[in-house]
Amino acid sequence: MTTPKPEVPRETPAASAAQPCVRVAGAGPAGLAAAIRLRLLGRDVEVHESSDRVGSRWCGGFQVLENFSEEEDILEFLKRSGVPVGFRNRPVHRVRLWDPKGIPTDFESPVSLGYCVTRGSEPGDLDHSLWEAAKALGVNVRFGSHLPASEADIYAGGPRRVDGIGREIIFDAPLEDRMSVLLDPRLSPGGYAYFFVFDGRATLGMAIVRDFKNTNRHFEEVQRRFADLEKVEIPRAQATNHHVNFFVQHGADSGPFFAGEAGGFQDYLFGFGMRFALESGILAAQSVASGGSYANRRDRMLLPKQRICLFNRFAYEKAENWIPGYFVREAVRSGDLRKYLRSWYEPRGIKIMAARMMERFWRRGNFRKNVRSLCESPHTSN
């Protein structure tokens, strides 16, 4: 499995008059990365965003741009793809994992496990930074404009259904910087909870993949648990809700090229999907610019990773009651947390074969409307 290899850009982003303007739906990371790459490859680009600004799903909370599923550093990949790394990012070298019994294990990695970024509409946020970079290259971003998939060349309009729910709050916390993750299936069914603090600002959240009707109760329990574990007073704060979507995409090159979560590109194990989204957007852009087959490139470069994510999710849920303890023990035994995390995403033959079988039996959930409304953010989704 390899990340998309960027094609050599032209010396100038000036577009050829003979080439039509590329239409991209969605101004999230996948859509904006595609737009930036297309401009560097000499194409005119028009991005349609249904919301009134970039990053409207988010409120400035911390998220992790993971750096372990591939050998290459994610920031280096973005740089060689021509995507400016102008957003705030803090390398993550230390993390604390709490098991269900409340026993902490501290890990330290010489190589960054990821980069802590903020999502939202403010300067320095990932979304805002990508928008600024696209504008500087001459990309026309049209806000308040809904572009149907049938009219788009690249469709990166965000999640198309609910496979998981995330909820988080943001507040001031006079604490030392930290990244804590709680693996307890009783509190966050099928997922995990997290508490990040940087420069006195905290993000506390959870991700779950089932029992959505009890989201409120689970989140209240997560807050109480972290208040006890981290010895922190957690204020009442407005929660931000979002949802994730994962599926294994198949099909030919007819219609738009789907990127980001609209194409099912999400880490279905832990939800670290930003890297996947950026990679898929860049790959879609290169396919449009070259006239090559996106389906062939996707199946060669991204499909193995999607299948591994499906296998990981299946294994995690089937062994949910004992896997948190196993995960921590094996991570300690490995002596290298990044290497251990990397092993979960390696496309080994038996995993790929098993995942292909799982695809046939994987249930695609149909969720009630009230579940969908539960995970809507105060603004239109990107």
Please name which of 52, 196, 60 lies closest in space to residue 127, comparing C-alpha atoms. Answer: 60
Whether residue 107 lies inside any domain: the answer is yes
Whether residue 137 lies inside any domain: the answer is yes
Whether residue 150 lies inside any domain: the answer is yes
pLDDT (0 to 100) of residue 374: 32
φ/ψ of 241, rounded to 5, equals -115, 145
Whether residue 346 lies inside any domain: the answer is yes
Whether residue 362 lies inside any domain: the answer is yes
Please write the tens of the pLDDT for every residue from 11-67: 445 545 568 999 999 999 999 999 999 999 999 999 999 999 999 988 899 999 999
Identify the band that residue 353 occupies on the pLDDT scale cut at 50, 70 and 90: confident
Please write the tens of the pLDDT for every residue from 157-201: 988 778 889 999 999 999 999 999 999 999 999 899 999 999 999
Whether residue 297 lies inside any domain: the answer is yes
The more confidently predicted of residues 25 and 267 is: 25
Return the CATH number at 363.
Answer: 3.50.50.60
Whether residue 39 lies inside any domain: the answer is yes
Contacts with 264 (C-beta within 8 Å, 6 or more apart), sequence order: 245, 246, 247, 248, 249, 258, 306
Spatial separation of the C-alpha atoms in residues 193 and 67, rounded to whole Å? 19
pLDDT (0 to 100) of residue 242: 86
Residue pair 29/83 in contact (Cβ under 8 Å)? The answer is: no
Please name which of 247, 240, 242 lies closest in space to residue 363, comparing C-alpha atoms. Answer: 247
Q: DSSP letters along 147-168, please? A: --GGG-SEE----SS-SEEEEE
Task: Give the C-alpha distances (Å, rounded to integers) separating 200 from 92, 121, 168, 279.
Answer: 16, 20, 17, 32
Residue 82 DSSP code: T
Domain count of the chain?
A: 1
Structural domain containing residue 108: 22-162+244-374
C-beta atoms surrounding 371 within 10 Å: 16
Q: What is the dihedral of CA 274, 280, 281, 284, to 10 degrees?
A: 180
Residue pair 257/153 in contact (Cβ under 8 Å)? The answer is: yes
Spatial separation of the C-alpha atoms in residues 279 and 291, rounded to whole Å? 18
Whether residue 5 lies inside any domain: the answer is no
